[in-house]
Amino acid sequence: MVLAEIAEEVKKCTLCELFRTATNAVPGEGNPEARVMFIGEAPGWHEDKQGKPFVGNSGKFLTELIESAGLERDDVFITNIVKHRPPGNRDPLPDEIAACAGYLERQIAAIDPDVIVTLGRHSMNRYFPGERISKIHGKPKRFGTRLVVPMYHPAAALHNGSLRSTIEDDFKQLPRFLAEQDTERDKRRQEEERPEQGT
Ligand code: URA
């Protein structure tokens, strides 16, 4: 399976220096056929210890948010922009993000999700460079057949009352974005099946 192959490569990765200080690589986990894929920032202390994404406090909150959208954690795929923990939880550096980008691209291609949710600034920058999260959170943008929705990072929202209700409201829109994707897919199918006009 492609995702398992990518995970094995990530575990052996030496493309940047982060592997030297990390305990475990965190390739990501979830449903290989997920319709929704979440991209966070980088593994933290708990994730580094367990080799799994979003298993600490912000992970618990993320699971609640996923469930509030009528989904289960097992339905979705969760990964990060960088797959090894930066020392002391510092921000990932641009060359670390660049070194790790190929893994993320291959994960996205293998899963082919309908909706990608970016969590926080670093993953937002991949799709919306130069934008401000406070301005564009919760607003989906179409990239080919996919919708990409920038959202606040759960860790930022966890202890801030107003951000918390903002991220909760943004997550509650996910079923609507999935329904929009169903409609778009039906339209594409109908167009493919329609006989050529005038022949
Ligand atoms: N924060 C992230 O961005 N990713 C994790 O996996 C955990 C915390």
Residue whose Cα lies nearest atom 7 of ligand 1: it is 54
Ligand 1: distance of its center to the CA of 189 in Å?
37
pLDDT-derived band at 1 (thresholds 50, 70, 90) equals: confident
Q: Are β-strands 115-119 and 36-40 bridged in parallel, bridged antiparallel, or unpaired?
A: parallel
What confidence score (pLDDT) does residue 198 get? 57
Percent of the residues in the chain that have a pLDDT greater than 90, as a whole number: 95
What pLDDT was estimated at residue 194?
Answer: 87
- Report the predicted TM-score, pTM, of the whole model to 2 decimal places: 0.96
Q: Does residue 199 register a pLDDT over 90? A: no
Q: Which atom of ligand 1 is nearest to the CA of 81?
A: 3
pLDDT of 133: 97
Lowest mean pLDDT across 136-140, 160-164, 179-183: 160-164
Ligand 1 lining (C-beta closer than 6 Å): 40-44, 47, 53-54, 58-59, 80, 155
3-state helix, strand, coil in the chain (%, to 5): 50, 15, 35
Nearest to 46 by CA among 55, 58, 59: 55
In percent, the amount of the chain with pLDDT more than 70 equals 98
Q: For residue 58, what pLDDT band results from cuts at 50, 70 and 90?
A: very high
Distance 65 CA to ligand 1 centre (A): 14
CB 155 within 8 A of CB 65: no
Has residue 159 got a pLDDT over 90?
Answer: no
Between 57-68 and 161-172, two packed helices, what is the crossing angle to 10 degrees? 40
**Contact status, residue 87 vs residue 29, Cβ threshold 8 Å:** no
Largest CA distance in the chain: 66
Quick check: 23 pLDDT over 60?
A: yes
Taking only the tens place, the pLDDT of each residue in 96-138 is 999 999 999 999 999 999 999 999 999 999 999 999 999 999 9
Q: What is the mean pLDDT of the chain?
A: 96
- In this prediction, residue 197 carries a pLDDT of 64
